[in-house]
A and B are shown apart, each in its own frame.
Chain A
Amino acid sequence: MSKHKIGLIFNGVWSQYTFAKAEKYKDIVELVYVYDVTDAAVATYDALIVPFQSNQSALAERKQVLFNFLAAGKKIFIEGDCTHNWLDAIWEDRPVNNYWWVKDPNNPPIAHTNFEHPVYTGLKPRHACWHTHGAYTKIPEGAEVIQTTADGEVITWQTTQYGGLLMATTLDPIVEHGIQQITHLDNYTDKLIAFLCGVQPTGAFNFNRADFGITLN
């Protein structure tokens, strides 16, 4: 039985891997290869993360596993894009602005945030937005909007209508933190992890050299 609280649905992407292998998260988050996703494979986790750069068609084929997980009262966090309409929502691509904090620091892509949401409580606005990957133009009826752009496009939302809690955002805290080019992402991601499973990550985001150039069984 896994000691890990969170399963990260894994598309073999390096930034997903580096996040899960970081010292501060490796005992909390475990990779679950997307083709191995079954009810039994995810049964021991409190929460699942579907990261940016997932294989959306493979997820669509396994969406019942995810909705079964929610029906058991658990949490799922989805970041980045979400194509193939496997949610009751519509995601659309938008140009990425990843330099606003240099060119126009008072005008971040996200204009409105519900800072009373547990993930966002205590965050500064710049910690709640680095860049977005598209927007949701339709979300499930009754879902709660957490973040929007100045134009009112939905960036982050959540719903409990499937049993547990489904939270989706076009931010990419997991993949971007794995990339390690934005150093303040511990603020967001640590609160997210604690929200998903009740465990507060501690320590620095360090890598283990032995995790690279690995062979598989």
Chain B
Amino acid sequence: MINACVVSNGIEGIENMFRSNQRVSYTLLPIGPQFNPDFSPFDLLIVPNGTDNIAMFNIKHLVAEFLNAGKMMFCFDGWFTDWVPGNTWIMDNAHKTIDIRYRIVQDRYKLFEGIDLHQFIFSNGISGWWACGHIQAAPGADIILEDTWQQPIMVLDEVSTNGTMLLTASGPMADMLFGTNDDGQDSWQEVGRFYQKLISWAETKIHQPKTIDI
């Protein structure tokens, strides 16, 4: 069981996207005017798409402390403020979405094994639907996905802190993303399967024995 927290700025439906189940216990942490969360009970911090990046900047020291304690963060948002250690998200509309394709660059944990990347690129034949902008990745971080123009779209960073960060260029993910589309949920299915692979990988990372340097 993973003990995860999800920061929530009250946007509609977020509570339905992260429902506790046999694998993950989710706790929503509501953002307010004096947001000062205690991340210490949790293994995993999830920052969903549409998060309050003003509030996150104001607690960037708490995020850094959490990660430096060896813990894990998934950020599926466009973090326009500088609160993600070592990495920057940049919005970009220089290219047309019709030209967007993704390519797997470095996937050391085989997260995309068995995943149809085509489904991340196209929804009902429309390309460029999943992510926006790109990531200026920290030196030494793994670029898992890049776009047509070799810009990072998904980054795994195990070097900027003592912990682990999985970052998308605002590409949304959640435990349950399928509730509000009327296309038979097809466009979200592969993203949902990938998220479950992330959870499996996170289980391994979180529960592996920690080595201590003496």
Give chain A's interface residues, CB within 8 Å of chain B.
Answer: 10-15, 17-18, 33, 35, 53-58, 80-81, 83, 93, 95-99, 102-103, 179-181, 183, 205-207, 209, 211-216
Q: Given A11-B11, A54-B11, A209-B90, decide whether A102 and B125 contact each other with a Cβ distance below 8 A.
A: yes
A134 to B58 alpha-carbon distance, docked (Å) = 33
Q: Which residues of A contact B32 (CB under 8 A)?
A: 35, 58
Which bracket fits the contact residues of B?
A: 35 or more
A81 to B55 alpha-carbon distance, docked (Å) = 22
- Total A-B contacts with CB atoms under 8 angstroms apart: 118
Which residues from 4 to 51 on chain B have a C-beta closer than 8 Å to any C-beta of chain A?
A: 9-13, 31-33, 50-51
Q: Which residues of A contact B126 (CB under 8 A)?
A: 99, 102
Q: Are A53 and B50 in contact (CB under 8 A)?
A: yes
Q: Given A211-B80, A214-B80, A215-B57, decide whether A57 and B170 contact each other with a Cβ distance below 8 A.
A: no
Q: Given A14-B78, A55-B9, A93-B180, decide whether A205 and B88 contact each other with a Cβ distance below 8 A.
A: no
A80 to B12 alpha-carbon distance, docked (Å) = 10
Closest chain A residue, CB of each to CB of B90: A212
Q: B91-99, B139-147, B189-197: which one contacts chain A?
A: B91-99
The one of B51, B93, B129, B132 that contacts A12, using a Cβ cutoff of 8 Å = B51
Q: Which residues of A contact B91 (CB under 8 A)?
A: 14, 18, 180, 207, 212
Q: Are B53 and A12 in contact (CB under 8 A)?
A: yes
A144 to B91 alpha-carbon distance, docked (Å) = 37
Q: Which residues of A contact B51 (CB under 8 A)?
A: 12-13
Asked whether any CB of chain A lies closer than 8 Å to the CB of B208, the reply is no
Closest chain A residue, CB of each to CB of B34: A35
Closest chain B residue, CB of each to CB of A55: B10
Asked whether any CB of chain A lies closer than 8 Å to the CB of B113, the reply is no
Q: Are A15 and B78 in contact (CB under 8 A)?
A: yes
Q: Are A99 and B183 in contact (CB under 8 A)?
A: yes
Closest chain A residue, CB of each to CB of B53: A12
Q: Are B82 and A14 in contact (CB under 8 A)?
A: no
Asked whether any CB of chain A lies closer than 8 Å to the CB of B157, the reply is no
